[in-house]
Structure 1
Amino acid sequence: MRIISFSDLKNIVNKGDVIALAALSTANLPAEILKTLVDYNDEDASFTDFTIMLANDISDYRGDSYDLDSLTTRGMIKRLITSIITGSPETINAMRNNEIEAYYLPQGVIATHYRSKTNASPGIISKIGLHTNVDPRYTGGKVNERTTENLVSLIDINNETYLQYHFPDIDIALLRGTYADMDGNIYMTHEAHLGEGYSLALAAHNNNGKVIVQVKAIVQNGNFNPNDVFIPGKLVDYIVVNTNPKLHRQVMQTQYDPALSGHYQITAMREPYIELGTRKVILRRAAQFLCEGDVISIGFGINNELSNVLLEEHANHLVQPNIDTGVFGGWISSREHFGMNYNLSARMRHDMTWDFIYNNGLDVAYLSFAEVDPMGNVNVSKFGDKMNGCGGFIDISQTVKTIVFSGSMVVGGQLSYTSNNVTVEAQGRTSKFVNKIDSIDFNAAHAMTLGQEVYFVTERAVFELTHKGLKLIEIAPGLDLEVDILENMAFKPIIADNIKVMNSDIYCEQWGGLSQAIKSEHRI
């Protein structure tokens, strides 16, 4: 291990390198390393043709740091391998315009493949991704026409079909910790998420690549408990010490909050409760599918606010929320507080969390949807002008027992909620229930073979997945089935013989009935 200056990086990183990061937004992002690469490339365009691999999107959102777009706009990226992009618009444009090669592959597969890439292993062989857009019988995860190399192939083992993922070897691992000691051991003391940096360091080391870690400071040996070492010094080649605090933020909203790294617990949520409206009533109905003791996956999008509803209803202690970044329990924030998670019961490495998910650790997954077809197939990754990617959606939706998809039925609809009743003021402009979806991220027929229970919750109606397709099982009080539901769908679903009316209390300003619903013996 050597402690080096940032200027030394120009002699370590080379044109065409495969570079991998283990960050989420600004959390764990070695932003000053990225700044250095950008600065040297601005001088002589020498840092180009990179393959960038990362499980999550990296973006500073604030516009005063360095991230994926900083590399993309300078033509430094040749190929991108990731699962999701939500905060890098210039990178999305480059993908859309065929300026870079790009793949969207399952987040859990990316995060866990690093430790599978050994001389004694064939790499990742998994059923995750079968019968979805990742399957080579569809697109193999390729995002655009410029992307031609196959990173996913089919393989048969004992008469069963699997996907084999072919990831490139890592030349450079760009990682971040809080402290390093004189032996190069890395500590994550002030970090909000642990990430998959340990496994990534292993993969780079195995390939004779270089592991470069950005830290806040160097500490003397013995200052910390050896049990707290996140990456042992044997795996670390170079350490750089941060010189600009804004390039080492804990999360995008703050430089450092000790509550986010588990050093103390807060007594009140840092964000207000959701106001009564479409998002709130959807989440209230979706939460009624919970049973006491459930471990639940909180997906990206509307479901980020599920924890908010659980807290307001004093029901958060009845279940344990999980975010695939490694967050267990506690208070999961949303909106402008997204990524700020407090009072955790446990915190694990990103890749270890996927082990938990793959091994039947979850009871219920709360996921979003962008498009749904008559059979119940779901698209979340590519719709309209959006190219978000699948994130961990595919991994989770193919491993959990029960799935609750949540979202509004129509884009742009205007509804009012008064007197325990729902009134449609404006029907909206675009239905999410379409005849054909642009990308299959959830395959309904495959879900049926796995024996999963699947529901779709909207503000107007609830649907259940059956072997014959979507079945309408509930309607909101006050709505007309034909005008307010069926005319806003491109297809006619199966209609239950006895359509229930959704609990009118969830449309009131104050509810208070969630705890009782969760304590019931059945998902309702």
Structure 2
Amino acid sequence: MKNKVITADQAIALINDGDVVCTTGFVQSCIPELLHAALEQRYVDTQGPKNLTLIMCAGAGDSKGLGTGRLHHEGLLSRVIAANFGRMPKVAEAAQKNKIQGYNLPQGIISKLYRSCAAGSPGLFSKVGLHTYVDPRLGGGKVNEVTTEDIVKRLEIDGEEWLFYKATPINVALIRATSADPSGNLSMEKEALTLDCLAQAMAAHNNGGIVIAQVERVVAPGSLKPKDVRVPGILVDCVVVADPPEMHRMNYGVMYNPALSGAIRVPVDHMPRMALDERKIIARRAAFELPLNGAINLGVGAPDGVASIAAEEQVTPYLTMTTEAGAIGGVLAGGSSFGSSANADSVIDQNTMFDFYHGGGLDLTCLGVAEVDEQGNVNTSRFGGRLNGCGGFIDISQNSRAVVFAGTFTAGGLKIAVEDGKLKIVQEGRARKFVKAVEQITFSGTYAAKKSQPVIYVTERCVFQLTPDGLELIEVAPGVDIDRDILAHMDFAPIINRRPMLMDERIFREDPMGLMDELTNLNLCERVSYDPQRNILFLNLEGWSVRKKADVADLQKVLVDACEKAGRRVNSVVNHDGCRIAEDLYEAYADMIQHMMKHHYQSTARYSTSSFMRLKMQEALSKRGLRPHIFESAEEAHAAVEAARAAAE
């Protein structure tokens, strides 16, 4: 039996000039820090190895020089293929100065390309990245002028657009685990995440390369249970024990937290409440979009506040939070532990999680924004002179059933106050986020609208909705003046089809919002009233949102119950003014109307001041042979029902 345990220096000495090296790690977690440090030291001491290609998924570092940030020395790298450059700023600077070649590809694509390499496949077909800067028509993911090779191609198969991502064979995999036996079998019992270690190891091994694993400890032969081995020893060439132990921290801020590794479960009922500032206002409004019993992904920054709001409102047990790094369930961690979860239900490999995301498994994602333009395009990858990278943003935003973009309206010095339930802009931010055209398209609003993907943009002072014609202003915070506080700080005029609704006043008060009742539609019956003398059923949907199919089912039940209580077919008047129906739910909503017309309504009239709502409803109703007209005012709708009632009598 070969003993594969050697020193870090001995292992790193096996890397040759020009090798393709991949490394594991997610943000600040699960990073083989000792291996990165040894590679840096070898280059500083010997000027070798030279001209390496670095492949990585998420950023793996602290943005200050640790992790892959150690590999910035001129001549060490010649090419980088990464989803995130922000956590290795000196490497990003080298790419911006054309000193190295660089590609910024979606995190999930890189993650799954490891499997392509392992299987000997030339690459990967995917729709992820279409109509973003990764699309060859918009740059192909290249980050500078010296990067000329096309590794992303657009192809048409059976009349559909696809992107083909070329796989890059891997020579060296730097991975991390908790325990290893002398034969190199690896277990991950104290790791927060498993990431892509197995796929990376298989990719390097099957290409005739080497696999170097950093571990916390070596255990006796035969002591690891077969199902606990996450990477088998046949794939591992070298085992390096981290010394000192600080080089094997769970993440840069935590030496070890057993709740994040799944070793224990901890109480989470008493999370601290957020202060009522702009971040909480945004998170509260976004929380109204949460789908109960749905799968959810939250981005970093303002979006991760949604998890805190869910805990405050005691709805967490009815949601399943996930991270692209592989955590499912539990309470998502923030700060240096971002990507992991306390009390997780399970932790799966990163590439498998992206299979779930790419296949449409997510019900909702809430992500941050840097720039938004009039077409609803979003930029988070390259702005303000910074090459940040997309991370998993493209994978997630393009494939989630519904998307909430969340962030402050302006950036840099924004100060707000909440007084008597009203928002006051004390000091405006220095930088505008709503611009005429984004610097780089990380999310295509036009493509999303074409796919009828529900998308809203939540800020502390207003909410926009994506329509085929661009951004529509649909909600405004109480106390905010549209001209002074919104339009004056945008580079374009949004669509305003009607007077925007006020954002829910509960958002701007210290008391709990009663979010559970809202998400379960417990108060929906209060929107229905019946006049038996005139046999008219009134339904007031003003300010209500149809966010998910369950909302349609809940509304149908309330209406059926009201009609059955009336004991006869009724004439209905429906107020849709200020009601928002998610873009992909108009068909389901029209099916509900068809059911009511067939079984319970004698006649119906609907009204809305939103021309977009009227158009979408008319299209959906016409397909079903129903009267498609939607009135513009309550007076017109009431007159139409009275006429129908009189004719029936």
TM-score of the pair, normalised by structure 1: 0.95
| Equivalent position of 1:201 in the other structure | 201
Deviation digits for residues 433-466 of structure 1, max 9, x if unmatched? 1111100111112112222101011111111100
Matched residue, 1:183: 183
The 3-state SS of whatever aligns with 2:144 is: coil
State the one-letter code of the partner of 2:166.
H
> Residues 387 and 142 from structure 1, CA distance in 2 versus in 1: closer, same or farther, beyond 3 angstroms?
same
Work out the CA distance in 2 between the residues paired with 1:169 and 1:266: 42
Compared CA separation, residues 471 and 172, structure 1 to 2 (3 A): same
2:33 paired residue number? 31
Which residue number corresponds to residue 467 of structure 1?
A: 468
Residue 517 of structure 1 deviates from its aligned partner by: 2.1
In the aligned structure 1, how far is the partner of 2:257 from the partner of 2:319?
Answer: 26
Partner of residue 541, structure 2:
none
Q: Which residue of 1 aligns with 2:501?
A: 500
User: Shift in Å at residue 271 of structure 1?
Assistant: 6.5
Which of the numbers 34, 44, 47 marks the counterpart of 2:46? Answer: 44
- 1:431 maps to 432
**Aligned-pair distance for 1:297?**
0.9
Q: Partner of 2:162 in structure 1?
A: 162
| Structure 1 residue aligned with 2:418 | 417
Contact 2:58 2:392 in 1 (8 A): no
Q: Which runs of 5+ in 1 are unaligned?
A: none
Amino acid aligned to 1:81: I
Kept in 2, the 8 Å contact 1:308–1:332? The answer is no
CA displacement 1:343-379 (0-9 Å, x = unmatched): 1111111111111112221100111111111111111
Deviations 1:179-232 (A, max 9, x none): 112332110111011111101111111211111111112212342321111111
Distance, in Å, in 1 between the alignment partners of 2:105 and 2:270 is 34
Q: Give the 3 Å change call, closer, same or farther, for CA 10–233 of structure 1 in structure 2.
A: closer
Shift of 1:298: 1.0
- Partner amino acid, structure 2, of 1:127: K
Aligned match of 2:360: 360
Q: Name the residue aligned to 2:225.
A: 225
1:318 to partner: Cα distance? 1.8
For residue 280 of structure 1, what is the aligned residue in structure 2?
Answer: 280
- Cα 1:343–1:127 change in 2 (3 A) is same
Please state which structure has a larger fraction of its residues in helix. 2
3-state secondary structure, aligned to 1:517? helix
- 8 A Cα contact 1:48 1:75, kept in partner: yes
> For the residues of structure 2 that align with 1:450 and 1:41, how far apart are their CA atoms?
49
| C-alpha separation in 1, matches of 2:490 and 2:26 | 36
Give the superposition deviation at 1:334. Answer: 2.3
1-side partners of 2:119 and 2:293: how far apart? 41
Q: Distance in 1 between matches of 2:64 and 2:490?
A: 38
| Larger RCO (CA under 8 A, 6+ residues apart) | 1
Task: Please tell me whether residue 56 in structure 1 is matched to residue 52 in structure 2.
Answer: no
Per the alignment, residue 91 of structure 1 pairs with 91
Q: How far is the alpha carbon of 1:274 from its aligned partner?
A: 2.2
Alignment-derived partner of residue 520 in structure 2 = 519
Q: Please tell me whether the aligned partners of residues 416 and 423 of structure 2 are also in contact (alpha carbons under 8 angstroms).
A: yes
Letter in 2 for 1:67: G
1:130 matched residue in structure 2: 130
Q: Distance in 2 between matches of 1:399 and 1:219?
A: 42
Q: Which of 15, 18, 25 in structure 1 is aligned with 2:17?
A: 15
* Structure 1 counterpart of 2:210: 210
- How far off is 1:74 after superposition? 4.9
Classify 1:244/1:468 alpha carbon distance in 2 versus 1 (closer, same or farther; 3 Å).
same
Decide whether aligned partners of structure 1 residues 91 and 322 sit closer, same or farther in structure 2, where only a CA change above 3 A counts: same
| In structure 2, C-alpha distance between the alignment counterparts of 1:508 and 1:83, rounded to whole Å | 39
Distance 1:322 1:265 in 2: 17
Please state whether the residue corresponding to 2:498 is helix, strand or coil. strand
* Contact 2:328 2:346 survives alignment (8 Å): yes
Q: For the structure 1 residues 492 and 309, does the alpha-carbon distance in structure 2 shift closer, same or farther, using more than 3 Å as the test?
A: same
> Does the 8 Å contact 2:175/2:214 carry over to 1?
yes
Tell me, what secondary structure is at the counterpart of 2:214? strand
1:424 shift after superposition: 1.7
Using the alignment, how far apart are the partners of 1:426 and 1:214 within structure 2? 49
Q: Calculate the TM-score normalised by the size of structure 2.
A: 0.77
| 2: CA distance, partners of 1:104 / 1:273 | 37
- Amino acid of the residue matched to residue 396 of structure 1? I
Task: Decide whether aligned partners of structure 1 residues 337 and 396 sit closer, same or farther in structure 2, where only a CA change above 3 A counts.
Answer: closer
Decide which moves more: 270-279 or 449-458: 270-279
1:403-414 correspondence to structure 2 within 5 Å? 403-411=403-411, 412-414=413-415
C-alpha offsets along residues 277-312 of structure 1, whole Å, 9 cap, x if unaligned? 001100100110112112111113321222112112
Matched with 1:445 is 446
Q: What is the RMSD of the two structures over their aligned residues, measured on CA atoms?
A: 1.9
Distance 1:88 1:95 in 2: 11
Tell me the CA shift for residue 60 of structure 1: 4.0
In structure 2, how many angstroms separate the alpha carbons of the residues matched to 1:138 and 1:35?
37
Q: 1:50 to 1:270 in 2, by over 3 A?
A: farther
Figure out how many residues of one structure are paired with residues of the other and give that number: 522
In 2, Cα distance between equivalents of 1:371 and 1:138:
17
The 10-residue stretch of structure 1 (455-464 or 180-189) with the greater mean CA deviation from structure 2: 180-189
Identity of aligned residues (%): 37
Secondary structure of 1:29's counterpart equals coil
Letter in 2 for 1:47: P
Change (3 A) 1:369 1:60: closer
Deviates more, 1:468-477 or 1:234-243: 234-243
Change (3 A) 1:299 1:25: closer
State the shift of 1:514 in Å: 1.9
- Distance of 1:440 and 1:29 partners within structure 2: 30
How far off is 1:120 after superposition?
Answer: 5.8
- Report the CA distance shift for 1:123/1:337 in structure 2 as closer, same or farther (over 3 A): closer
Q: Distance in 1 between matches of 2:428 and 2:28?
A: 39
How far apart in 2 are the matches of 1:232 and 1:305?
A: 39
Q: Which amino acid aligns with 1:298?
A: L
Do the aligned partners of 2:325 and 2:339 also contact (CA within 8 Å) in 1? no
Deviation string 1:97-133 (CA, Å, 9 cap, x unpaired) is 2222111100000001111235663421111111110
* Secondary structure of the corresponding residue to residue 251 of structure 2: coil
**Structure 1 counterpart of 2:136, which letter?**
P
3-state DSSP of counterpart to 1:435: coil
Q: Secondary structure at the match of 1:113?
A: helix
1:398 corresponds in structure 2 to: 398
Which residue identity does 1:8 align to in structure 2?
Q
Instruction: Give the match for residue 293 of structure 2.
Output: 293
When residues 460 and 119 of structure 1 are mapped into structure 2, their CA distance, relative to the original with a 3 A threshold, is closer
* Aligned partners of 2:390 and 2:442 also within 8 Å: yes
Residues 308-356 of structure 1, C-alpha deviations (whole Å, 9 max, x = no match): 1211221111211111000111111224654552111111111111111
DSSP 3-state at the match of 2:137: coil
> Offset of 1:245 from its aligned partner?
0.7
**Residues 305 and 333 of structure 1 are in contact (CA less than 8 Å); yes or no, is this contact kept in structure 2?**
no
CA distance in 2 between partners of 1:71 and 1:365 (Å): 33
Moved more, 20-29 or 329-338: 329-338
Distance in 1, Cα, partners of 2:106 & 2:336:
26
CA distance in 2, matches of 1:430, 1:470: 20
How far apart are 1:136 and its partner, in Å? 0.8
Counterpart residue type for residue 415 of structure 1:
I
Q: Which of 1 and 2 has greater Rg?
A: 2
The answer as to whether partners of 2:281 and 2:460 remain within 8 angstroms in 1 is: yes
- 3-state SS in 2 of match to 1:103: strand
Unaligned runs of 5+ in 2: 525-545, 548-579, 581-649
Contact 1:195 1:349 in 2 (8 A): yes
Helix, strand or coil at the partner of 1:9:
helix
Give yes or no for the alignment of 1:315 onto 2:331. no
Cα separation, partners in 2 of 1:122 and 1:75, compared to 1, 3 Å: closer
Paired amino acid for 1:3: V
SS at match of 1:124: strand
Whole-angstrom CA distance in 2 between matches of 1:4 and 1:208: 20
- C-alpha change, 1:410 and 1:7, in structure 2 (3 Å) is closer
How far apart are 1:26 and its partner, in Å?
4.0
Contact 1:273 1:308 in 2 (8 A): yes
- CA offsets, 1:40-60, max 9 Å, x none? 212220122110000011114
Alpha-carbon separation, structure 2, partners of 1:225 and 1:386: 46
